Amino acid sequence: MQNKKIRAPQGLGKQGADYWKRLHENFSFEATDEALVMSLCRLIDRLHDIAAIIEHDDVAVVDRFNQVVPHRLLEAERSTALAAGRLWRELGLATNEDTDPSRLPLP
């Protein structure tokens, strides 16, 4: 058995590339699924970017009326996680226990 180094395609950030490698080390994909895998890895990058901004700013911020409100990226984080969960399931990677997108295994 040949031990081939798996390389992520260009255009992914560090987290997305690491996730792409982990997916390909643990699963086999049809050529037609590679676009979905790439989309999933881009969403992983986006989730990490959003999480870093929210962590820096905090989950609650003060708006222009001096009111404490939820960070505006919390909704983007939620919708991105849901989209990643849908791709995860569409690729056939989810079991019955893995249907909650918040439990999506991240690198």
Question: Can you tell me which residue has the tokens 């690198």?
Answer: 107
pLDDT by residue for the chain (107 residues), tens only, comes to: 445 677 888 999 999 999 999 899 888 899 999 999 999 999 999 999 999 999 999 999 999 999 999 999 999 999 999 999 999 999 988 765 554 444 555 55
14 contacts: CB under 8 Å, gap ≥ 6 = 45
Q: What are phi and psi of 59, to 5 degrees?
A: -75, -20
Whole-model pTM: value is 0.80
| CA distance to 50, 54, 72, 80, per residue, from 76 (Å) | 8, 11, 8, 6
Give the span between the Cα atoms of 98 and 107, in whole angstroms: 16
Q: What is the pLDDT of residue 99?
A: 47
Please state whether 106 falls in left (phi above 0), alpha (psi between -120 and 50) or beta: beta
Q: What is the pLDDT of residue 2?
A: 46
| CA distance to 42, 45, 82, per residue, from 78 (Å) | 15, 14, 6
